[in-house]
Amino acid sequence: MKFRIAALSLAAVLLAGIAVTYVWFARQAQPAPAAVSPVTLESGLLVVLNRRLAVIDGSGAARVSAVECVRVYAAAGTGVCLQPESPWAYHLSVLDSSLTTTKTLPLPGLPNRARVSASGRMVAWTTFVGGDSYASGGFSTRTGIIDTKEGTVISTLEDFAITREGKAYQNIDVNFWGVTFAADDDRFYATLGTDGKRYLVEGSVKSRTVRTIVSNVECPSLSPDETKVAFKQAVNADPQQGWRLSVLDLKTLAVTHTAETRSIDDQAAWLKPGTIAYTVRDSAGDPSVWTVSADGTGQPQLLAPGAESPATLGNHL
């Protein structure tokens, strides 16, 4: 018995030593918070840098704010930041141009996408929610919209009336993700996942309806002239095989693959007519922001190493 107690004690001390040492190194390895500088949502490229909201100017210099965000977007002086309270709980903050919080909303689940309409009035978010699915360990999404002018919150699009391939449609497995708004602050595009398929839908906030347009289009991002959407297309219509960053012509429904051949799991952002920006992850999950031409020509360009969640604030590049 004495031997066993001694052996156990030795093993416990050894293993605790390994754990404590690793935790200590992990703590040291964390980058020191960058110096906080005054940041406004007026011009430049809005990104997340080391989990902080940051703005990169034309020269490539980053100003990093004190605002912690997992995902950001902004337009016309309205920003949205999906913000951690703890590793398990997140909320959405609507920010004004000087990064003052004007509204917060607790979010269910883990942050995924965020968008603001061009006028700055409408805000949309998507989170991943655990347990909303048949198999335990399965996930589903939750997508909501805030009208900052009226102050109304649509906590889930799942209550909207769905028209699928011309017919009224209802199913408990319905999931929405990745909203992008049109300029009239009513019309929007998003992804509808149901029945094993993923559709591009066009919807109306006022009439609370969506209708499917085409399948295998995820995370749409409407071009400034509203004729195209950039999106991720599952390779062979199977998300397990990764996604190809592509552009859909809304009139002809023709799909153009961009020159980006890596698998991109992001909702892209239009930096200017003809150019889209998106986050690339390396094998360790570390991000960088790249751009590529929307017409399928050229090569992807690295825009901001270490950054993610790009959005243009205008007057950029």
Partner 1 sequence: MYLASVTRPAASGTATKIVAGNVVALGTVSLITDISSEMVSAVLPLYLVLSLQLSPLSYGLLDGIYTGATAILRIVGGFVADKFRHRKLVAGLGYGLSALAKLGLLLAGRSTGALGFVIATDRMGKGLRTAPRDALITLSTPEGALGRAFGVHRMMDSVGAFLGPLVAMAVLTVAAQSYDAVFVTSFCIAALGVVVLVLFVHDRRGTLAAQPIRLKDAARIPGLGKLALVAVLLGLATIGDGFLFLLLQKRDDLSLIWFPLLAVGTSLAYLVLATPIGALADRIGRVPVFLAGYAVLTVTYLLLASGASAWLILVLYGLFYACTDGILMALAGPVLPEHLRTTGIAVIQTGQAVAYLGSSVLFGLAWQTIGSTPAIFAAALTAVIALAATALVLRRFAATTPAVAAEDR
* Residue among 219, 213, 205, 217 nearest 160 (CA): 205
Do residues 64 and 34 touch, judged by C-beta distance below 8 A? yes
Minimum CB–partner distance for residue 9 and partner 1 (Å): 10
In a 3-state reduction of DSSP, which class is residue 15? helix
* Residue among 179, 188, 194 nearest 208 (CA): 188
In a 3-state reduction of DSSP, which class is residue 282? coil
The residue within the footprint of partner 1, chosen from 38, 137, 151, 166 (CB under 8 A), is 137
Q: Which is nearer to partner 1, 159 or 252 (CB)?
A: 159
- Phi, psi of 18, rounded to the nearest 5 degrees: -60, -50
Minimum CB–partner distance for residue 162 and partner 1 (Å): 15
Please give the structure tokens belonging to residue 42.
């007026």
The residue within the footprint of partner 1, chosen from 132, 147, 185, 226 (CB under 8 A), is 132
Asked if residue 37 binds partner 1 (CB under 8 A), the reply is no
Q: How many CA atoms lie within 13 A of 5 on its CB side?
A: 2
The residue within the footprint of partner 1, chosen from 101, 265, 306, 316 (CB under 8 A), is 265
The residue within the footprint of partner 1, chosen from 2, 27, 167, 251 (CB under 8 A), is 27
In a 3-state reduction of DSSP, which class is residue 93? strand
Asked if residue 15 binds partner 1 (CB under 8 A), the reply is yes
Q: Which is nearer to partner 1, 39 or 234 (CB)?
A: 234
Asked if residue 70 binds partner 1 (CB under 8 A), the reply is yes
Q: Which is nearer to partner 1, 31 or 151 (CB)?
A: 31
Minimum CB–partner distance for residue 236 and partner 1 (Å): 14
Residue 141: partners with Cβ closer than 8 Å, 6 or more residues away? 112, 126, 127, 128, 129, 175, 176, 177, 193
Asked if residue 183 binds partner 1 (CB under 8 A), the reply is no
Asked if residue 171 binds partner 1 (CB under 8 A), the reply is yes
The 10 Å Cβ neighbour count of residue 221 is 23
Q: Which residues bind partner 1 (CB under 8 A)?
A: 4, 7-8, 11-12, 15-16, 18-19, 22-23, 26-27, 29-30, 70, 86-89, 106, 108-112, 128-142, 171-173, 175, 193, 239-240, 265, 279, 281, 283-285, 287
